[in-house]
Structure 1
Amino acid sequence: TPKPQDGVFERVFNRIVASNMVSLTAAKKYAEEQGLNTIVLTSRLRGEARHVGIVLASILEEIYHSNFPIKKPAAILAGGETTVTVVGNGRGGRNQELALSSSKIIRNLHGTALASIGTDGVDGVTDAAGGIVDAHSYSRAERLGLKVDDILARNDSYSFFEKLKDYIYTGPTGTNVNDIVVGVVL
């Protein structure tokens, strides 16, 4: 294995051409052009996906009820990479689990939505890049006989998004700058 000072590296130059923060900054610019007050919370998001989803949904709930930390119409953006402790035998990934857990908080917050997406186009062992939920996702699932807590317990978020047809599919993108979460309150 060559060492950093090895002559083989004399003509090697590395440049970072993309990052999670670059992606979030571009998303912020776009959201603002659409008339949304927008804040980038972090590009270093981490933690258990289902817990992070609840925290991000709680921020959306705060905006919905009190126009804080930003006024409606608003978008929050976060990036990074969460984890899932698998205890069930279902299918899914960290982005789908994050979005699914947020549905418990944003249900009935009309005009509110959250999407979580893997920039590589792959989320867990599924063909989805992530999932999107809104104020009606939870009740739509209930009408189909789906129980969000049971689905989360089985780590089976893909079945939720597949049945609601709310998974995000991009196909493999050939790049990866971690995950991006977008929350909107109109």
Structure 2
Amino acid sequence: MVRNPEVFRKAQEELDQVIGSGRLPTFDDRGSLPYLECILKEVLRWNPPVPLGIPHRVMEDDSYRGYHIPKGTTLIVNIFAILHDCLEPEEFRPERYAQKTDLPDPREVVFGFGRRICPGRHFAESSVWCIMANVVATLDISRTPEDQERDTFPEFKFTSGFVRHPQPFACSIRPRSSKVTTLIQEAKTHIDL
């Protein structure tokens, strides 16, 4: 969101229209927040956390697009390539999921395939959505004042390995208002009960 402030503002506008400023978003709001849903898909597409997935072994002879795959072959699915097979893959554009419905849903790719699909995928995806909705509703995230003054954006780098993690970068994170701080404290009180 630091590099795509227009996306962040549009998500905040959608949340403000749906939930207002008097409460935090809940799962009941999810169906009413299509742009936020597009952002979630784009985040997963743009940088899948496990770019090559888990190796699978073929249990019987198979074929794919005319290629023979013998029984016992180990397959490693290039999730990154699957999700980057679109126009302007390096661009972060959530709108692609509202405009073009024939793109694969990243949620059906990033958690694996077949019998070895992640059993916690629904919990993980729902947790990410809930965190994302609450961050967008409660915080303003932007470049640091220094980056704004120089009109530069932080460079994003990721760790290499089986799981990719973003490396630290500087940004500014502030509550959207003092009312938001109160809402968060009230939510914490309900959790502590």
Range of TM-score over shorter length: under 0.3
- Going by fraction, where is helix more abundant, 1 or 2? 2
- Going by fraction, where is strand more abundant, 1 or 2? 1
Larger Rg: 2
TM-score, L = length of structure 2: 0.23
TM-score, L = length of structure 1: 0.24
